[in-house]
Amino acid sequence: MTMKWDGVTPAQYDAMRKKLKMDEIAPQGLVFHVAGFKDNAIRITDIWESEEDFNNYAHNCIMPAAAENKLEGTPQIDIFPVYGTLVPAFSL
């Protein structure tokens, strides 16, 4: 899944992560998550076990938290099957 959400700031993303307790409780079906910012938008790439897992989390958790945190606009989401992955060891 890739997402682009115009106007979302790092502070709003941090508030969402805290609200969703993502660092404490991994969402069901989430395998990998990475986020960054470019051109006044957040860009997220996730790998989920299934499209259904993502859709359930988006509908039941992300969008209610976004409304509570007053995120504006609608995210542009693209979902596609994973063909291959490579995650070499690294540290940030």
The H or E element containing residue 7 is: none
- pLDDT score, position 89: 76
Statement: residue 31 has pLDDT above 90: yes
Region 72-78 average pLDDT: 95
17, two tokens:
């992560």
At which residue do the structure tokens 């609608």 appear? 74
Neighbours of 27 (CB within 10 A): 19
**Mean of the per-residue pLDDT values for the chain?**
94
Instruction: Domains for the chain: give ranges and CATH numbers.
Output: 2-78 (3.30.70.100)
pLDDT digits (tens, 9 = 90+) for 42-54: 999 999 999 999 9
Stated pTM of the model: 0.89
Give the helix ranges, DSSP H, for 21-62: 51-57
Q: How far apart are CA 8 and CA 42, in angstroms?
A: 6
